[in-house]
Structure 1
Amino acid sequence: MDWASYAQHDAVGLGELVARREVHPRELLDAARDAADRLNPELNAVVARLDDRAERAADVVDPGASPLAGVPYLLKDLGVGIEGVPTSHGCGLFRDTPMPETSTAVARSKAAGLVIFGKTNTPEFGLSLSTEPRAFGPTRNPHDLRRSAGGSSGGSAAAVASGIVPAAHASDGGGSIRCPASVCGLFGLKPTRARVPMGPTAAEAWNGMATMHAITRSVRDSAALLDVAAGPEPGDPYAAPPPDRPYLDEVGRDPGTLRIALTRDGDVPSDGACRAAVERVARMCEDLVHRVEETAPAFDHDALRTALLTLVTVHSAAQLDQIAELLGRELQPGELEAFTEALAAQGRPVPGTEMVRMRDTILGLGRRFGRFFQGFDIWLTPTLAQPPAKLGWLDPDGVDAETLLTRHTLYGPFLPLANATGCPAANLPLVWSEDGLPLGVMAMAPFGREDRLLRLAAQLEAAHPDAWGITTAQ
């Protein structure tokens, strides 16, 4: 299969070709690898290749075993792994350290017949909204090579937006699916807390703030991938409410008339283009007979920001201690990026009682949003408060930590709210600037209601096919 034909299909579409035996998984793998060979030197989206493993996997695919059987796929190089294969977490110290086990989500992807042929770039330990790790270099946005592909799933987003793959694995602890999806013009769904298990060993990440799923071009690809990965496993500390039906069945299903809350600005003002983008999507929703009301949930933004920063810094300190234990020595200054070291230093002296108080603040937000969503079905905001950032603006070694924290707040003030509450949220790729840059709009739904997001997103995708998910392959 030539690349032009390959890039016209989403993942489910490629799976259908495999199921009908019109194409062999090896042909799809060859098309994906050819695309990576041609495009990746400029983008720096893929940082490791697993060609031999992928060839073996492609040769034993059972066509039609799942809607995604035989489809090429990439894993984000952070937080998940394949037994015997290194996961760097965006850090040079782990470039060659093999993982001791295969992650549950990865095992489920392989069982569904996805052909994993590489790993994608990520910031060091996923701590940034821009993928510019010292260890591997920056990932460039396919729509403008001077700009960031977002973070922390920037490598995955660039690979999808460029047409290397139709979908790629991603994770989200503070916007790391939705930010890259926004700046690369893709659909990015952060699932409900505990929808996708973190096992087989880990129980949660960042006190339940982090989860994993995928970045895709189409809504149905996201739904199909969620069907593959979702569901509890033995030993989970908690689980998300079970869905009424497979998520793929929600695509095309009538969402009914939704009550949509519209918010243009948080406590940080949004850029005019981002405000205009969410207003435009709100009008699209009204055209589909949904009811839109301008309002916002009330909460203490400063208290929440303090609590979130405390959680991240304390976890960073604990992670560095674990790294030192694994290495059998103390870490030396400069071995990690300056931003990583600064976050850990800030979290190390935090007392346990303060950590408990900050966690209670975060959990309290979930209660507030639970009440808010009793009156609304969807909350619509800008995904980012500014257009896609240029590379270097969030450089973890080139910008001091205090400035980086301020810039993250200015860039993505709405992003961590879905992580703190555990609610599902998705980037809708419907608006583009005059100079061709994506301007994402975020839809958040009540806890456990990915079905509602998928129905609305699929409805908008069908109503506006010329705007949805434009990729450089097209």
Structure 2
Amino acid sequence: MTLAMSWDEWTSHDAVGLAERVRKGELSAAELARQAAAGVQKINPAVSAVVEVFEDVVADPLKDGLNPQGPLAGVPFFMKDLGPTLKGRLQEQGSLFMRGNRGSQDAWLTRQMRKAGLNLIGRTTTPEFGVCSSAENPAVYVTRNPWNTDYTTCGSSAGTAAAVAAGVVPLSHATDGGGSIRIPAGFNGNIGLKPSRGVLSIGPNLSDITGYVSTQGCHSRTVRDTAAFIDACRGGAPGEFMPYWTPAEPYMQLIQRDPGKLRIALSHEWGDYRATPDIVAELEKAGRFLEGLGHQVEWALPQADLRAAFAAQTTCYISNFAQVINGLLASRGLDRPPADLFEPINIRIWEAGKDLSYTERHRMQGVFNSTARAFGEFFEDWDIILTPITAKPTPPVGTTEYLTISDNPDVLDWFDNLWKFFSYTPLSNLCGIPGISLPMASQDNGLPFGIHAQARQANDGLLLQLAAQIERALGGRWNDGRRPGVHVAA
């Protein structure tokens, strides 16, 4: 098959750049889709990032309703196999139990993506129901890090992270209930923004008020791609429980200007959790870099009861996922999850959460409120807080203690172990504030490492503005200009 361009040329384009060439008539959406599909064939045997390519929309990009006038018209795009449904398409959620499950309708966000002109050409891997830190069930698939395939991508946006990092597509869908956009972005050298509440809809079947912590988003390799995606896809479905907001200025315009001098707090001492010395050194290096850009940088931390916050977050996850599983069981007339079709930790989560009382949920909501107020008070004095993306380095493939195939009999201990590693991302989900992982740092093993910035609610634009300033200061060379060993241009 003859491709539209060389792989080096392909990966020199971001999504905005590809869309511009389609608008000019230099390339067609079908040519871009064929190139992305060929990229899957190149990298997938090594990293197992893509579950399925939709060959019919590769051949005919307008088949499913792509808007050829959209700002990202013709850009090939993968959907994480979780979250927004695509009518008639498989959505198996990383689960043996969900094999053969098909969406009955396009979700609202799916419709927004098509309206933006994105060509939804396939689906990427995720752990079962997006619960754990890595897509690593050998009975389903094992997604590997393209920088070094001995290591995990982390998750739960595992396949998206690998596909974007390996150059298959410049932009891909991701979701985040506690770091699932930002952590794999950090470990794969991508940009990952978790938006505030009220930006990207999970309607019509769910709302921000039903899940509290889950948000939608993307991975990209340039700040303007993330800005373009949010600008084009934001907005609420009819009947949302809370208002969806729009900034005064589109992010694509905002990011063209540097922010003013920012008050930036640094912290890795996050309640009971601490980062390793090597990671702290990378955070300090990032702080000095931002000082060099003219910002005020000091050590500071919100005055919140973080121990109570993590306990409430655990209650939220257990109760949310238990009810998701209850709904799946009810749809098939089952009383409990079949042990051969559900991963062990997800069965234990169901057991722990299926009968959780409203009293416990009410207590959880109270802690959510007090934590969000404490972070809000903190952001009266600070513009941004900067942390590492995680407290520990990327685990090798097969580190089962963080996986839902773990044999840990104590689900609370399993979650506590998770928080010791993924310490810095979950509370922004709890508070509904934005967080972004930027590929500014590295690990001793040669893998990338993300620096994590959070801001007050609805200050997503400031995070993108700072990210764009950093990108310009780096000359566009995230990850020091390096690319992974598994890559379409390798």
Q: Equivalent residue for 1:163?
A: 167
Measure, in 1, the Cα distance between the counterparts of 2:22 and 2:9. 14
Deviation string 1:94-138 (CA, Å, 9 cap, x unpaired) is 221111111111111112211111100001011112122455221
Measure, in 2, the Cα distance between the counterparts of 1:185 and 1:399. 31
Q: Equivalent residue for 2:354?
A: 348
Deviation string 1:284-303 (CA, Å, 9 cap, x unpaired) is 11111011111101222221
Aligned length: 473
Matched to 1:439, the amino acid is F
Measure, in 1, the Cα distance between the counterparts of 2:205 and 2:66. 28
Measure, in 2, the Cα distance between the counterparts of 1:135 and 1:245. 47
Matched to 1:458, the amino acid is A
Measure, in 2, the Cα distance between the counterparts of 1:78 and 1:206. 17
1:217-236 aligned within 5 A:
217-236=221-240
Matched to 1:84, the amino acid is G
Is residue 2:387 matched to residue 1:381? yes
From the superposition, tell whether residues 328 and 53 of structure 1 become closer, same or farther in structure 2 (CA, over 3 Å).
Answer: farther
Q: Equivalent residue for 1:310?
A: 315
From the superposition, tell whether residues 465 and 389 of structure 1 become closer, same or farther in structure 2 (CA, over 3 Å).
Answer: farther
Q: Equivalent residue for 1:430?
A: 440
From the superposition, tell whether residues 150 and 461 of structure 1 become closer, same or farther in structure 2 (CA, over 3 Å).
Answer: same
Deviation string 1:40-99 (CA, Å, 9 cap, x unpaired) is 111111012211033222588665x23311111000000211111121111122221111
CA contact (8 A) 1:149 1:157 kept: yes
Measure, in 1, the Cα distance between the counterparts of 2:67 and 2:460. 29
1:93-104 aligned within 5 A:
93-104=97-108
Q: Equivalent residue for 1:272?
A: 277
Q: Equivalent residue for 2:304?
A: 299
CA contact (8 A) 1:36 1:164 kept: yes
Measure, in 1, the Cα distance between the counterparts of 2:446 and 2:70. 36
1:198 alignment partner, one of 202, 205, 209 = 202
2:257 alignment partner, one of 253, 257, 272 = 253
Q: Equivalent residue for 2:42?
A: 38
1:396 deviates by 2.0
Q: Equivalent residue for 1:450?
A: 460
Q: Equivalent residue for 1:85?
A: 89
1:37-56 aligned within 5 A:
37-56=41-60
- Identity level (%): 34
1:370 alignment partner, one of 367, 376, 380 = 376
Is residue 2:408 matched to residue 1:396? no
SS of equivalent residue, structure 2 residue 192: strand
Measure, in 2, the Cα distance between the counterparts of 1:227 and 1:175. 22
Give the TM-score, by structure 2 length: 0.93
1:281 alignment partner, one of 280, 286, 298 = 286
1:404 deviates by 3.5
Measure, in 2, the Cα distance between the counterparts of 1:143 and 1:12. 25
Measure, in 2, the Cα distance between the counterparts of 1:408 and 1:465. 36
Deviation string 1:13-56 (CA, Å, 9 cap, x unpaired) is 11111111111111111111111011111111101221103322
1:304 deviates by 1.3
The runs of 5 or more residues in structure 1 that have no matched partner are none
CA contact (8 A) 1:277 1:431 kept: yes
Deviation string 1:178-211 (CA, Å, 9 cap, x unpaired) is 0100100110000001211111232237632111
Measure, in 1, the Cα distance between the counterparts of 2:473 and 2:466. 11
Deviation string 1:245-303 (CA, Å, 9 cap, x unpaired) is 11111222121111101113222110122111111111111111011111101222221
User: Which sits farther off after the overlay, 391-400 or 191-200?
Assistant: 391-400
Give the TM-score, by structure 1 length: 0.96
CA contact (8 A) 1:192 1:240 kept: no
Matched to 1:213, the amino acid is G
The runs of 5 or more residues in structure 2 that have no matched partner are none
CA contact (8 A) 1:194 1:211 kept: no
Q: Equivalent residue for 2:421?
A: 411
Measure, in 2, the Cα distance between the counterparts of 1:328 and 1:281. 53
User: Which sits farther off after the overlay, 290-299 or 245-254?
Assistant: 245-254
1:332 deviates by 2.5
Matched to 1:263, the amino acid is S
From the superposition, tell whether residues 72 and 444 of structure 1 become closer, same or farther in structure 2 (CA, over 3 Å).
Answer: same
Matched to 1:120, the amino acid is T
SS of equivalent residue, structure 1 residue 293: strand
1:320 deviates by 1.8
User: Which sits farther off after the overlay, 118-127 or 272-281?
Assistant: 272-281
CA contact (8 A) 1:129 1:175 kept: no
